[in-house]
Structure 1
Amino acid sequence: MTKEVLEITPSGGIYCIVNLPKPAVKTHDFSKPGGYLINELLEQLRLDHNTDGSFLTDGDILRWGISRLCEAPMGRSLAHDARFDDWMIMVEDGDSETRLLIDTDIKCLFLPRYADSITEFTKSQPSQMEFLFQLAKGLRLIWQHGATQQKANNLDAKDFVLLNRMIEADSDLSSILVAYQLREKGDHDFWRYILSAELSKVAVTLCECLDFDPSMDGMLDAMGFVFQDWFADEARLSRIDHDSLSELDEREEEPGTENLQFDDLIQVSMLPDGFSYLEYAAADILSDAYYTRIPDATNEAHLKQIIAETQVAMLEDIGFRDQELARK
C-alpha cells in the first residue's frame, strides 16, 4: 500500500510529490506499566490527539503531559530534542518531596507522579502541575546530558559543582519559560502553580521582562537576568552542591583536571533556537564569586576533602608510573 507524500520546504513551498510505502508504526501498549520511549509517545500523539485528562495508566499521564507542554514552543522543542537515542520515561509513585532521577546508563528519566496512585493524581491539580514542571525539566536535562556529559566527566571537582548548578538553573528556567508561553496561549493553571511554588520570584521577574520586551533579544536578556536571580537562593545552591559532592564520592573515577571554558557556558545556555542567553555574561561567571561561592560550610569542607584526595591520587599515580619507568 502506498501513500502520497508532500515534502514541504522551510519556506512552505512544495518541492516534490512522491509515492512511498506506508511505514509500519511501532506503538507502545499504554495499558501496561513500564518505561515509555519518548519517540513513541510523540508518535502516539501525532496519530491520536485525544488527551482529555482521563487517566487510566501512567502512559495516559505522560501523553497528557507531553501534549500540554507541546502547546508551548519551548515545550515542543524540549520534547523533540529528547526523542533521540531511545530515551524513555518511567513514572513512579512519589510525593512532593520526591525528586526526578536520570539514569544515563539505561537512558531513562524516572519521574515521580507526585501522587500515590493514578486516581489521586486525577483529583489533584497540584500533583498534575508539579508533574508538568518536572517533566519539562527532565526533558531539558536529557538534552543537557548529551550536551555536557563528556565535559562533566573531565572537570575538576570545583568546576563540576559549578556546572551542575548551571544545568539545574537552566532546566528550572526552561520549565518556567514553558509555563509563561502556555500562559500567553490562555493556559493559566500551570503559571499560577509556579507563582505559588519555590521559584515564584524568578518566575515573576521573567514575566515582567518578557511582558516588557517579548522579542527574541528580549527573551535572551530576560533568561540571562533571571539566571542571575536563580543563584541568589543559598539553600537551593547548598542542596544542589550536596548532591554534586555525593555524586563525586560515588564515582569510581577521580575527578578530572579540566576547567570550564567560555564555550562550555554558551553550550549549557543554548536555547533550541540556537541562541545562548549567557553569551554576554559567560566570561564573568567563571570568575565571579557570586556564582562560585559555597555558602554551606559542610559542603565547603567536603569539596576541599575531595580536592585533597584527588591531588593525593594524582601524586600516587605519578609515583607509580615513575617506578614503572625506573624498572625499564
Structure 2
Amino acid sequence: MPNSEIYDRKNIVMKADTLVSHAEPKIGEYAGSKYFSHILDVWSMEDLYEDSAYGFEQTDSLILGDKFEILSWACGQIALCPTGSSMLFEAMDDGWSLALEDLNGPDFHIDVPEKMIVLDNGGLLLSALGRSEYFRNILLVSLVRALRDVWQEARHGGFDEDYAPQDILVLERARAADLDVLAVMVAWELRGEGFGSLWRHMIGSEDGDIAMCYSATLERNPASAFNGYALAMAFKQWYKSDSRVKSCEHEALNDIDALLQERGSKDAFGTANLNASKIEELSALPDQNQYLCGFGENILLDEDYAGMSDMVNQAHYRQIMHDMSAVRVHGIPFRDASLAEKIFPNGEFTPEGQDPCSLI
C-alpha cells in the first residue's frame, strides 16, 4: 500500500514487457441502486493501482482490452499528479473499490455504504472505449470528479440532516462546482508532468470555459497557483453557465423531493444556519488550503451564486416548500393539522358508518 502522504513518481514506472495477471474481481449484486440492478465486476482500487505499474506505455496507439485494464490505466494516470494521487491514495486507504458500467445518465455513482465508485462507460463497447483517447479522457475526468466527491463525503457527508432545502441547494451548487474545478486542476497538473492529453480534452469540453479561466488567471497572476485565487476564479466561472446550474439544481431538487416523500413533512430536514465558513470548508484541498477562503460570504449573499433563475426549478422548489408545510396522514396531505385530526383521530381511520363531515 503506498503512503498517502507521499507523491512518488517512481511508483508509476511503466514496464511494458512484464506480464501480470489481473486481480480477481469482487462480484456483487447491487439491486438497491436506481442505476443498475445486475451483477457487477468490482475491483479494489489498491489492486487497480498496483497493476497500473505494468504494461501501459504512454503512446497515441494505446489499446486497453478489458474493464480491469481501463480502470487500472485510469488510476495510474491520476496518480501521476500531486492532487490526484492524494485523493486516490486516501480512497485506497479507506478501502474503496471501482467498477465500470452503463449508468445511462450520470457520469459516476458512489455507493457510500459499500465504498464503491461506479463509472459510466457511456454505453460503449469495451473495445471502443479502450482504443479511443477521447473516451478514455472522459472516463478520467469522471474518476477525478468521483474521487473528489468521495473526499467530500468523508468530511461533510450529506447536507439534508443539518440544513433546510434552500441551504442544501446552495451547498450542492458549490459542491458540484468544486468537482469540476478539481478536475481542471488535476488536468493542469498532469500537463505539467508531461501528459497534456487530458488538458487538451478539458479545453475542448463543455467545461472548457472553466479551464480557460483557470489558465488565463495563472498567466496573468502566477502567484494565484499558490494562494488559491486561480481556483476561486474557475469556481466563479462555473456559475456563469446556466445549463450547469440548472442541471445541478434539478438533480438536487429531485433528491430533496425524494427524501421528503420518504421521511414525511415533519422534521424532514435540518435547521442549522448555513454560514460562510461552511462554504469555504468545501473548497479545502488535500493540503488543507481553502481556495474559497474569504469568498464564502459573497457566495451566500450574491444572487449570482444563491439565486434560482430557471422557472421549472422554481416551481419544483415552491412545491417542495408547500409539501413541507402540509400534515400527512395515511399519505393524504392536509394544510390544517386540526382538520387532519378530526378526519383521522389519533392517526386512525374514521370508524365505519360515521360521517367524517360530522366531525368538522
Query: Structure 1 pair 260/39, CA: closer, same or farther in 2 (3 Å)?
Result: farther
Pick aligned residue for 2:128 from 101, 117, 120: 120
Q: Which amino acid aligns with 2:81?
A: A
- Spell out, residue by residue over 1:242-300, the C-alpha distance to the aligned partner (whole angstroms, 9 max, x if none): 10111112122322222322221122100011100111101221111111111111111
Q: Which amino acid aligns with 1:273?
A: D
- Spell out, residue by residue over 1:1-39, the C-alpha distance to the aligned partner (whole angstroms, 9 max, x if none): xxxxxx9x99xxxxxxxxxxxxxxxx9326986112223
Structure 1 window deviating more from structure 2 (146-155 vs 124-133): it is: 146-155
Query: Structure 1 pair 213/305, CA: closer, same or farther in 2 (3 Å)?
Result: same
Q: Which amino acid aligns with 2:211?
A: A
Which one scores higher on RCO, CA 8 angstroms, separation ≥ 6? Answer: 1
State the partner residue of 2:283: 269
Tell me the SS of whatever aligns to 1:34: strand
| Structure 2: gaps (5+ residues) | 7-21, 28-39, 329-333, 347-360
1:192 deviates by 1.0
Q: Is the 8 A contact 2:63 2:131 kept in 1?
A: no
State the partner residue of 2:352: none
1:302 pairs with 2:301: no
Larger radius of gyration: 2
Pick aligned residue for 2:241 from 217, 233, 250: 233
Q: Which amino acid aligns with 1:303?
A: Y
Q: Which amino acid aligns with 1:193?
A: H
Percent identical residues: 23
Q: How does 1:241-280 map to 2 (within 5 A)?
A: 241-251=249-259, 252-253=262-263, 254-280=268-294
| Structure 1: gaps (5+ residues) | 1-6, 11-26
Higher relative helix content: 1
State the partner residue of 1:23: none
Counterparts of 2:26 and 2:94, CA distance in 1: 24
Q: How does 1:128-143 map to 2 (within 5 A)?
A: 128-143=136-151
Counterparts of 1:188 and 1:221, CA distance in 2: 23
Q: How does 1:182-261 map to 2 (within 5 A)?
A: 182-215=190-223, 218=226, 220-251=228-259, 252-253=262-263, 254-261=268-275
1:57 deviates by 2.2
Pick aligned residue for 2:43 from 36, 39, 51: 36
Query: Structure 1 pair 77/299, CA: closer, same or farther in 2 (3 Å)?
Result: same
Q: Is the 8 A contact 2:66 2:130 kept in 1?
A: no
Counterparts of 1:272 and 1:56, CA distance in 2: 33
Q: RMSD value over aligned CA atoms?
A: 3.0
Q: How does 1:38-117 map to 2 (within 5 A)?
A: 38-45=45-52, 48-52=53-57, 53-93=62-102, 98-114=106-122, 116-117=124-125
Q: Which amino acid aligns with 2:193?
A: K
Number of paired residues?
297
Counterparts of 1:39 and 1:159, CA distance in 2: 37
Structure 1 window deviating more from structure 2 (29-38 vs 120-129): it is: 29-38
Query: Structure 1 pair 30/151, CA: closer, same or farther in 2 (3 Å)?
Result: closer
Tell me the SS of whatever aligns to 1:35: strand
Query: Structure 1 pair 311/84, CA: closer, same or farther in 2 (3 Å)?
Result: farther
Counterparts of 1:133 and 1:79, CA distance in 2: 13
Counterparts of 2:220 and 2:136, CA distance in 1: 30
TM-score (norm 1): 0.81
Q: Is the 8 A contact 2:102 2:122 kept in 1?
A: yes
Counterparts of 1:250 and 1:294, CA distance in 2: 20
Counterparts of 2:227 and 2:186, CA distance in 1: 12
Q: Which amino acid aligns with 1:267?
A: E
Q: Which amino acid aligns with 2:315?
A: A
1:202 deviates by 1.0
Counterparts of 1:82 and 1:174, CA distance in 2: 16
